[in-house]
Amino acid sequence: MKSLKRHIALIVPLIAILFSLESVLSIMRLQSLYEINLSKAYSIIVASSRPLKDEDIALKIPEFKSLNEIDSDMIVQKLKGEVREENIERLKGVLPYYYSITLSYFPNQKRLAQITEQIQQIKDIKRVESFNKAHDRIYRLLLLLKTTIIFFAIPMFLVSLLLMVKQIEVWHFEHRERMEIMTLLGAPNWLRNGLLFRLAIVDSILATFLLTGITIYFGSHGFLLTLFSEIGVHGHVFYPQTDFFILLVSSLCISNFSVLAVIARITRERRKGLQ
């Protein structure tokens, strides 16, 4: 039971650190997927008194991807039955040319306002509709969520790291006599502290497996999948296999760094005591 408590004391802060890392990775993927899907679905609608060419837009907008004409007959068809035939024919003669402009990526609100203004400056453009408000709200929410996660992840990492260092100091104290005997026998530093490294490695592996299991569970949860679908994200946010190796390497590096930090401090104090 005592041994289990020792392991839990290191596994809990390790899981907290790995959870912070996984959260940052996930929100960055979510933002990237949203930007990709949005760039595919998003378009700017323009009305022009003359036919437009790709060059008209490309010269003004570096983000320009394609220009597609919208069939005005679709608009006219909706008016049939409500407007007399002769008026429909007149309407066809005065209707402007409608186009949808797609961009290579979804810009931020400031850049989108600049793009709208630049398109309006093109000769014979009558109207530009960017439909940016609904998309921008979701995009801003994702940016806010990413900032919030990173903001809380940093202090969580620091506090968890301090807890890990303290626990490793406890381990060192518990096995101090054994280590001192090995020192008297002339054992090298890495051998004297080998137990600390082994405990840290075992707990790192356990923490990684536990968090990966939690990620798989929540990643396949219907609520999250529905939520992602509603905001237009169709793709994988969680990659358990890839993330497992990222988390494992990170966990091993952090835990072994903590062990090295404790060893360095104790060695420094011992040298000061000898002086």
Q: What are the extents of the domains in the chain?
A: 2-37+136-274, 43-130
- Structure tokens, 59: 């010269």
The winner for highest mean pLDDT among 6-10, 35-39, 133-137 is 6-10
Provide the 8-state DSSP code for 237. S
- Residues 106-125: tens digit of each pLDDT: 777 788 888 888 888 888 88
Q: Tell me which fold the domain 43-130 belongs to.
A: Alpha-Beta Plaits (3.30.70)
CA atoms of 47 and 31, how far apart (whole Å): 31
* Residue 17 confidence class, pLDDT cut points 50, 70, 90: very high
Backbone angles phi, psi at 83, to 5 degrees: -125, 145
Q: What residues form DSSP beta bridges with 44?
A: 101
Where residue 34 falls among pLDDT bands split at 50, 70, 90?
A: confident
pLDDT at 77: 62
Reported pTM: 0.73
Chain centroid to CA 113: how far? 25
Q: Do residues 146 and 31 lie in contact, with contact meaning Cβ atoms separated by under 8 Å?
A: yes
How many Cα neighbours within 13 Å face the side chain of 201? 6
pLDDT, tens only, 192-241: 667 778 888 999 999 999 999 988 887 777 667 677 776 667 667 778 88
